Structure 1
Amino acid sequence: MNLHNSLSISLKIQERIDPSRRDEPAKFYVQAIQTGKTDLRRLAYLISSQSTVRQADCLAVLDGLVLNMMDELSQGRAVELGDIGTFRVAVTSNGSATPEEVNVSNIRFSRLNYRPSRVFKKWLKTLNFSIMS
């Protein structure tokens, strides 16, 4: 897999107060600057321009991937996408004193967890960063 990482990811300096320690002074942190978004149509275009597959066909496959991922995740399965990584549904819930008191109303929210593959983890270590002034 050929990964492009010659460009530098821009960072900004952000002052923040730790919500769990409001009495302490704010600290300064770096935060990655998002320069835009790429959607499924753009990915389909990029894939089609790098192969013999038409953009409409790429988009249809990506749309199918999304729908099937949601279906598999809703059945309690983790979805492993090779060199991309693994997705799974997780929940955060309120505790109860006894097991009998636990029910679905204990769930505060659900989220999608992502665990990057070894390829993505290795790629993350090669990124270049620069702080914008």
Structure 2
Amino acid sequence: PYVSQAHLTRLWTYLFGAYFKEVPPVPEDGGPLPVGVGINFVKFKGFDEEAGTMNIALNLRLCWDDARLSFSAKEFFNRSWSHEGDKIPIRSNLIWTPDVTVLNEVGMLHSLLVSHTSPLVLSDDLFRNQTG
């Protein structure tokens, strides 16, 4: 949806001028924030029958609504938003991301997304973590 660098800079200022990534988004109803989770298995790396463990690589996708990052494409780009193609990539370290911890593990617990820097994509006024 880019029209010019000036339009994109104005949008960036609007979105992040008073955005605090340490503060989680609160749904309009004040309830808990729903976070969608998707998992794609990438590679089976190993299996230890005696220990009852396996080693796999996977892509984790998270989806949540953060109304603080909503905007009108008509206002900023003077055109409608195309749900199929219009996206604004943003680094995940710029916005709030949910804490993710693996609970079903043989060894120690591991926290995910601590230093995660995969791009996030603004699409249809929702941010979707694109790790796949």
Query: Shorter-normalised TM-score: what interval?
Result: under 0.3
- Of structures 1 and 2, the larger Rg is shown by 1
Task: Give TM-score scaled by structure 1 length.
Answer: 0.24
Instruction: Report which of the two has the higher share of helix.
Output: 1
TM-score normalised to structure 2 length: 0.24
